[in-house]
Amino acid sequence: MLSYRHAYHAGNHADILKHTVLCNCLQHLNAKDKPYLLLDTHAGAGLYALDSEPARKTGEYIDGIARIWNRTDLPPALHTFLAALQVCNPGTKLQRYPGSPWLAGHFARPVDSLRFCELHSTDFALLRQEFKEAGRRVRVEQSDGFETMKALLPPPQRRGLVLIDPSYEIKSDYSRVAAAIKDGLKRFATGTFLVWLPFLPTLEARSLPEKLKKLPADWLYASLSVQASATRGHGMNGSAMFVINPPWTLRADLEEALPWLARVLAKDDAANWSLDVSADAGKLRSQHA
């Protein structure tokens, strides 16, 4: 049975990295008129109240999004994400944090299709409620995101982005992510796949990015850690995003955003970031520069 609830973690450093990457990819997709499919395989509740009991209990957003909300020195690469956050919080007070489905709904145009999968019954009900008036372009399912991914790829639009953001509470999630991407690339070689990865001191967590780098596709790997390596009881010190077939603009965006985020979100001197791309993705960028 699943027990993870994202409401305890919404707006923390990992969400900021994940959602910065997601927003910049969606903005890039919107640059062309052609419709796309967005599939969020592990969607969560969609939107989070920061005065809720779970958010107040961990206070993770306080060292996360609350540190950014009032800053006036944001690098341009973070403007897309912050503009969306402001739409989510009309007025001056930070009260809500947008999950990936909210952000997807914000960026997608009427021609685009959105599919959200969430297995946890409580979060599925909240997500369905959030999108109850969204119309036919949005479908919210209580389904296994890995299975739904197989069924939906390739999308008829032949343009698409898949976000895979498991909680990794089940060890097999690591191997399922690797298998899903491998299969996803066979079905839809030109799709953009975003995978969130936790920094945890386990073999599975450490080896997943290396496995993904071996797949036959361009990739980008971006990491952000806010403090020294996790010790017992201190939670997760950082995370990474692995992007397959990244938009050519993403590397430059993250080169600008990551140093700023590492500085502003730092909890100690060990805060750090990294950015790495496959050889061909590097070439792609120079071709488009």
CB 138 within 8 A of CB 110: no
Kindly state whether residue 62 participates in binding ligand SAM, applying the rule CB under 6 A.
no
Token pair belonging to 177 = 């992510």
Q: Active-site residue numbers? A: 165
Q: Report the C-alpha gap between 226 and 36 in whole angstroms.
A: 34
Kindly state whether residue 126 participates in binding ligand SAM, applying the rule CB under 6 A.
no
Kindly state whether residue 11 participates in binding ligand SAM, applying the rule CB under 6 A.
no
Task: Characterize 65-97 residue by residue with b for buried, 16 or more Cβ atoms within 10 angstroms of its Cβ, and e for exposed.
Answer: bebbbeeeeeeebbebbbebbeebbeeeebebb
Kindly state whether residue 130 participates in binding ligand SAM, applying the rule CB under 6 A.
no
The CB-of-167 to ligand SAM minimum distance in angstroms stands at 4
Kindly state whether residue 145 participates in binding ligand SAM, applying the rule CB under 6 A.
yes
Among 43, 108, 140, 205, binds ligand SAM (CB under 6 A): 43
Kindly state whether residue 167 participates in binding ligand SAM, applying the rule CB under 6 A.
yes
What SS3 class is residue 107?
Answer: helix
CB 217 within 8 A of CB 185: yes
Footprint (CB under 6 A) of ligand SAM, residues 101-120: 117-120
Q: Report the C-alpha gap between 25 and 29 in whole angstroms.
A: 6
Mark the segment that binds ligand SAM (CB under 6 A) among 37-45, 183-191, 202-210, 236-244.
37-45
Kindly state whether residue 2 participates in binding ligand SAM, applying the rule CB under 6 A.
yes
What SS3 class is residue 106?
Answer: helix
Where do contacts with ligand SAM occur on this chain (CB under 6 A)? 2, 4, 6, 18, 40-44, 99-100, 117-120, 123, 144-146, 165-167
